[in-house]
Amino acid sequence: MLQAAPTLASVIKAEETDGKPPVLVDGGLLGVLGSSIDDVQDQLGLSKHLLDIWRLRAERAAHEAGVLADKVVEQPDKNGVGDFFVLLVIWSGVFAGLMLAGKLLVRSLNNTRIVQARPRLQRLLRAGVPYLLPAVLSLVVIVFGSHLLPSSIGRALAVCLTYAGSSGVFCAALVMSLIAMLDAGHKRPAVQIIRQHCVRPLFAMGFFAALSDGMDTPQVGLTLGANVASCLSIFSGLVACAVFAYLAIKLRRPVGQLIRNRALAQRLGQPAFQESLRIFSVLWYWPILLMLLVSALDLVGVGEGSGRALRSALLTSGLLIATVFLGSLLHHSFTTLLRSNGAYRVRLMMVVYVLLRILLAVAFIELLAQIWGFSVLAFASDSHTGQVISDSLGHILLIFLVTWLAWVVMDTAIQQVLEPPVTRRGTHAPSTRIRTILPLIRNAIKVVLAVIFTITTLANLGVNVTPFLAGAGVIGLAIGFGSQQLVQDVITGLFILIEDTISVGDWVEIDSNHAGTVEGLTIRTLRLRDSRGYVHSVPFGQIKAVINHSRQFAYAYFAVQFTYDSDMDKASDLISEAGRQISDDPLLSLSLQGAMSVYGIDSMNLDGVTITAQFRTISGAQGSITRAFNERLKKLVDNSADVHFAQHYPQGFLIPARDTGQTAQAAAEPPRSALLLPDMPPSSQ
């Protein structure tokens, strides 16, 4: 894999094409992309061409606007300044009068039985009649009335503005009338949102779109000047596109709610159609934005013509919807398949799903390029640059898929061990050793795969990875020399975990300095909690010896001392009786692994006779068994007259006796000593 970059670079061979050798491209994929961008900029030069056109158009429009201003100032009557205001006043008056009449008509119609029985018809009349008919009729009056006036700048501007105003009102009223038909049931919140936000943008969109259309007519161009009319038309069209795009983005969620929200019976009865509506409700505004973008580019002069651009935009919208629909069906199908059992099957199906999505994306890109007069596959197969790019991307994709597949297999195997599936016989929880080591192995595998993928990807991009590898080696050596204690802790911890010397929950003694219950194990440290509640963190490198009190089983050992005058047979019977009571206890018997073993007399000393016995218990239960045995044996011995516990008396010592009152007698008699014990006063003579 590391040699992929030189192999890809050698794809560009020195073949003769029309007698000239092709230009070799160095630097891998990044070098190819850089040189390709430079070639495209050199060949197209669109930005410079557009700037020249718009600079010339702006200069001519400014000159024509200056000439028009001079004409209006010098001869206002001849250029129709009065006609401009007259037509605007007439249009406003006619529109206001017709709107008032429409409202009165709607009010009278709402009082009839037919309309009162139909709330939807009431909303339609209230939204449409007062605005739609006045907008159309007032524009008709202005158009016919303008023919009675001579041709002038004022008349042309007035007709354009009244046409734009009527179109804005008509657009807003028409959309509001259609929205009023949907104002019912669960769609009412979405309708209310649309009403609150779309009236003014709809009017502005219709106004500027009609103004752009009116300024683009030949009559207005001859009156105002071709460049002035063209600039105003383009500016109005761009404003209309911007307002339309803003409105589509603003109302994407309410409109999507109206599209997909149907009755419950329809949603359940037609799941496939409902899924299609759901997809369309998410994507409905994207084709609109795409067509608006194409229209805006066509207005500023980019493209080969509005007809071809619009056709390509429509085909692109259809392709986008079809691709998303196929992607949703693919997702729905794999979602059903992924519900099956089997961890390997689920993860591998995810890999297949990603491959199919990649193929779908490649097909979409190729068809999109075909729509706009280009072929990605032809570029990748015919040109040297395309071969380098396609080979590099293919190698990177292959490396990614192989790395991902390896990670899926290894991670699934580790997950199966850490979280075994539940069966009829239950599940066997993994040991602490497995739960500690396997996550470390998984992280190590993840890091190794990520490093391999990064290095091979950089190599295919044309980056020299030799300095990176050398630097990584030097850094690794520095870390190794600088952290010898850390390495010692890690290696010792690995062997302790692998040998399963210590587990979480064990009671252990470490080098006679630390003792307690193991609460946690990491790759470097051991955490203990002692009997007083203190936590000890011990690095594995400091551990020399371990005493584990919690492995497989333990012994509850008893050494009981009796006096010499006790009956030893009865003492042994009392010990056996205490053991039987513990064995018969329903709770304590769960901790036993056998009956009590009485070994008999183990030793004799000055204090008494020692009899030993023991129970075999589960690990960690020896303390509770010992306490229970001592309690029961104490009660049995207290009730026995022939058996007594021995008491410990230290060895006596001699103290010289003194008598100050009988000095002479003491001098005549030899000295004598008294034996004193701490618990026994000296006997009187």
Distances in Å between the alpha carbon of 108 and those of 94, 134, 431?
21, 18, 85
Q: Two tokens at 570?
A: 């009865």
Average pLDDT over residues 453-468: 82
pLDDT at 512 over 50: yes
Q: What is the mean pLDDT of the chain?
A: 76
Angle at which helix 188-215 crosses helix 153-180, to 10 degrees, equals 160
Give the residue among 96, 93, 104 at the shortest CA–CA distance from 126. Answer: 104
- Per-residue 3-state assignment (H helix, E strand, C coil) for 347-403: HHHHHHHHHHHHHHHHHHHHHHHHHCCCCHHHHHHHCHHHHHHHHHHHHHHHHHHHH
Measured distance CA(369)–CA(372) in Å, rounded = 5
Angle at which helix 343-371 crosses helix 384-418, to 10 degrees, equals 160
Measured distance CA(383)–CA(386) in Å, rounded = 5
pLDDT at 684: 40
Q: State the Cα angle at 563 between 557 and 569, rounded to 5°.
A: 70
Q: Which residue has the tokens 């669109």?
A: 46
Measured distance CA(139)–CA(92) in Å, rounded = 10
pLDDT at 577: 92
Strand partners, 426: 423
Q: Which residue has the tokens 């209309």?
A: 240
pLDDT, tens digit (0-9, with 9 covering 90-100), for 99-143: 888 888 888 887 777 777 777 677 777 777 788 888 888 888 888
Q: Which residue has the tokens 């590099």?
A: 392
pLDDT, tens digit (0-9, with 9 covering 90-100), for 3-48: 433 433 343 343 334 444 444 444 555 555 555 555 544 544 444 5
CB 579 within 8 A of CB 558: no
CB 417 within 8 A of CB 438: yes
pLDDT at 342: 66
Burial class (CB in 10 A: 0-12, 13-18, 19+), 571: buried
If one compares 19 and 271, the residue with the highest pLDDT of the two is: 271
pLDDT at 22: 43
How many CB atoms sit inside 10 A of residue 668's CB?
Answer: 8
DSSP state of 621: -
If one compares 584 and 384, the residue with the highest pLDDT of the two is: 584
CB 624 within 8 A of CB 638: no
Using DSSP's 3-state secondary structure scheme, residue 677 falls into strand
pLDDT, tens digit (0-9, with 9 covering 90-100), for 310-324: 566 667 767 776 777
DSSP letter for each residue of 123-173? HHHHHHTTTHHHHHHHHHHHHHHHTTSPP-HHHHHHHHHHHHHHHHHHHHH
Measured distance CA(203)–CA(167) in Å, rounded = 8
- DSSP run (H or E) holding 538: strand 535-539
Distances in Å between the alpha carbon of 384 and those of 210, 367, 380, 393?
50, 22, 8, 14
Measured distance CA(1)–CA(449) in Å, rounded = 13
Among left, alpha and beta (phi > 0; psi -120 to 50; other), residue 340 is: beta
pLDDT at 392: 82
CB 207 within 8 A of CB 165: yes
pLDDT, tens digit (0-9, with 9 covering 90-100), for 470-508: 887 888 777 777 777 777 787 888 788 777 788 777 888
Average pLDDT over residues 200-226: 84
Residue spans in the chain of domains classed CATH 2.30.30.60: 485-548
pLDDT, tens digit (0-9, with 9 covering 90-100), for 584-605: 988 888 888 888 889 989 999 8
Q: What type of residue sits at position 159?
A: V
Average pLDDT over residues 426-448: 75
Q: Two tokens at 536?
A: 């000890």
CB 463 within 8 A of CB 454: no
Strand partners, 509: 515, 547
Angle at which helix 384-418 crosses helix 28-44, to 10 degrees, equals 140
3-state helix, strand, coil in the chain (%, to 5): 65, 10, 25
Q: What type of residue sits at position 312?
A: S
Q: Which residue has the tokens 């044996």?
A: 633
DSSP letter for each residue of 280-331? HHHHTHHHHHHHHHHHHHHHHT-SS-HHHHHHHHHHHHHHHHHHHHHHHHHH
If one compares 659 and 580, the residue with the highest pLDDT of the two is: 580
Among the listed ranges 436-450, 452-466, 550-564, 662-676, which one has the minimum average pLDDT value?
662-676
DSSP state of 525: E
Q: Which residue has the tokens 């030799």?
A: 466
pLDDT at 583 over 60: yes
pLDDT, tens digit (0-9, with 9 covering 90-100), for 80-103: 677 788 888 888 888 888 888 888
Q: Two tokens at 195?
A: 């009403």
CB 485 within 8 A of CB 541: yes
pLDDT band with cut points at 50, 70 and 90 for residue 663: very low
Burial class (CB in 10 A: 0-12, 13-18, 19+), 38: exposed
pLDDT at 186 over 90: no
pLDDT at 546: 85
Q: Which residue has the tokens 């061990």?
A: 417
pLDDT at 576: 92
pLDDT band with cut points at 50, 70 and 90 for residue 683: very low
Q: State the Cα angle at 466 between 462 and 470, rounded to 5°.
A: 150
Pick the CATH number of 485-548 from 2.130.10.30, 3.40.250.10, 2.70.240.10, 2.30.30.60: 2.30.30.60
If one compares 227 and 123, the residue with the highest pLDDT of the two is: 227
Average pLDDT over residues 151-170: 86
Strand partners, 2: none
pTM of the model: 0.46
